[in-house]
Structure 1
Amino acid sequence: MLEELKLTDNQIKSVDLSGNEKLKVFWGSGNKIESINLSKNIELEQLWLSNNNLAEIDITKNTNLKQLLIDGNKLESVNILNNKEIYYIDASDNNIKDIEVTKDHYFQYYDIYPYKSKSDDDMRKDAEYFNVRKKY
């Protein structure tokens, strides 16, 4: 079974990974991907989808995910509540207005700049939370 798939820097608009249930690594950065279904890829540990055209992404079933690179897309929210193993997230250069984390998340690296929170108060609270929860 396929465990790694690297399709970076192509002109790919869509990709079907549903038949690759043992996939652990997918690098699809530098394409034109607009949507992706990852619901069957529950063993996924690394997901690189930087610089695509994603407006939404559902990684709620990818509970083994450790690295998430989704920078340079059109995302407004990211739900990582089920992704307790995640330690590296780059969601910069999006339109992020909402990112949900819990006290169980410990990050070695995170970048969500620019973060367009609902209010300055929310932004300050989130920044304090991220600074407190960062673990090296």
Structure 2
Amino acid sequence: MKKYIAFSLAVIGLFALSCSNDGDSGSNQPNIIIKPRTAIADAAFEQALVDLGIDDVVDGSVLTENAEMVTSLVMDNKGITSLQGISDFTMLENLSANNNQISSLDLSANTALKFVFVNNNDLTSINVTGLAILEKLSIPGNNVTLLNISGNTALQLLDIKDNTLGAIDLSNIPNSLQLNTFAVENNPLTCIRVNSEILNDIPSQWTKDPEDNYALTCN
């Protein structure tokens, strides 16, 4: 009887040791780290990122850490219809996406932007609020109906010709010496609001339609 009990205890001990070893081997398995990814809805946009070496395959997303390191995106003539996901490019300073088919663009999260060129797209709206260091904004050849640049006080170039703007307010631009280039022709507006300093010193290189007027207030 004693031999039977001893044998049983030995078997139980071996089983317990085996389970313990199994647990130890599991704990030594490497941890799988899942890195955050940014959704890129437009395949043409993502292909442009692949071409630039920012992404490696068109699969609907890009590593967020890669997006956060980008300072310049030049994606002209790429057939892009949407820049959804651009908000995660938080260090972006230069954006050029001319001659695409982008219909709306929200850049309010890209506060490092200095240069934005989205000429000849299908834009009906663009949000550049909060871009305090934006120096150049070029959007000719679109269908933008409303543009708020009240917070873009560092602007040096503003090209908004060939749109459908009913009004534009430059009154928050400090002076006309800073805004060296301004083009607003071929828009259905007749009044361009400015401040008194600009009104007294309209640069000769600024361009507008003959019927447009600069004024301190616009109806």
Task: Quickly name the TM-score band, shorter chain normalised.
Answer: 0.7 to 0.9
8 Å CA contact 1:25–1:44 kept in 2: the answer is yes
Q: How far did 1:108 drift? A: 5.4
Answer yes or no: is 1:100 the counterpart of 2:193: yes
8 Å CA contact 1:95–1:115 kept in 2: the answer is no
What letter corresponds to residue 115 of structure 1 in structure 2? E
Q: How far did 1:114 drift? A: 4.5
Instruction: Give TM-score scaled by structure 2 length.
Output: 0.51
Matching residue of 2:53: none
Q: Once structures 1 and 2 are overlaid, which stretch shifts more, 4-13 or 79-88?
A: 79-88
**What CA distance in whole angstroms lies between the structure 2 residues aligned with 1:96 and 1:90?**
13
1:72/1:114 Cα in 2 relative to 1: closer, same or farther (>3 Å)? farther
If each structure's helix is expressed as a fraction of its own residues, which one has the higher value?
Answer: 2
What letter corresponds to residue 189 of structure 2 in structure 1? I
Stretches of 4+ aligned residues off by more than 6 angstroms: none
**What CA distance in whole angstroms lies between the structure 2 residues aligned with 1:5 and 1:32?**
16
Matching residue of 1:12: 102
What letter corresponds to residue 73 of structure 1 in structure 2? N
Alignment equivalent of 2:206, drawn from 107, 110, 114? 110
1:56/1:50 Cα in 2 relative to 1: closer, same or farther (>3 Å)? same
**What CA distance in whole angstroms lies between the structure 1 residues aligned with 2:211 and 2:158?**
17
Instruction: Give TM-score scaled by structure 1 length.
Output: 0.80
Q: How far did 1:38 drift? A: 0.9
| 3-state DSSP of counterpart to 1:86 | coil
| 3-state DSSP of counterpart to 1:26 | strand
1:77/1:112 Cα in 2 relative to 1: closer, same or farther (>3 Å)? same
Matching residue of 1:31: 121
| Residue-by-residue CA offset, 1:110-134 (whole Å, 9 max, x unaligned) | 1111535xxxxxx5xx5xxxxxxxx
**What CA distance in whole angstroms lies between the structure 2 residues aligned with 1:108 and 1:67?**
14
**What CA distance in whole angstroms lies between the structure 2 residues aligned with 1:31 and 1:25?**
17
Q: How far did 1:19 drift? A: 2.3
Q: How far did 1:18 drift? A: 2.0
Gaps of 5+ in 1: 117-122, 127-136
Q: How far did 1:37 drift? A: 1.2
What is the number of residues matched between the two proteins? 119
Counterparts of 1:56-67 in structure 2, within 5 Å, are 56-67=146-157
Q: How far did 1:52 drift? A: 0.4
The structure whose RCO (Cα within 8 Å, separation 6+) is larger is 1
**What CA distance in whole angstroms lies between the structure 1 residues aligned with 2:192 and 2:158?**
13
User: Which structure is larger by alpha-carbon Rg, 1 or 2?
Assistant: 2
Q: How far did 1:43 drift? A: 0.9
Alignment equivalent of 2:111, drawn from 21, 24, 27? 21
What letter corresponds to residue 22 of structure 1 in structure 2? A
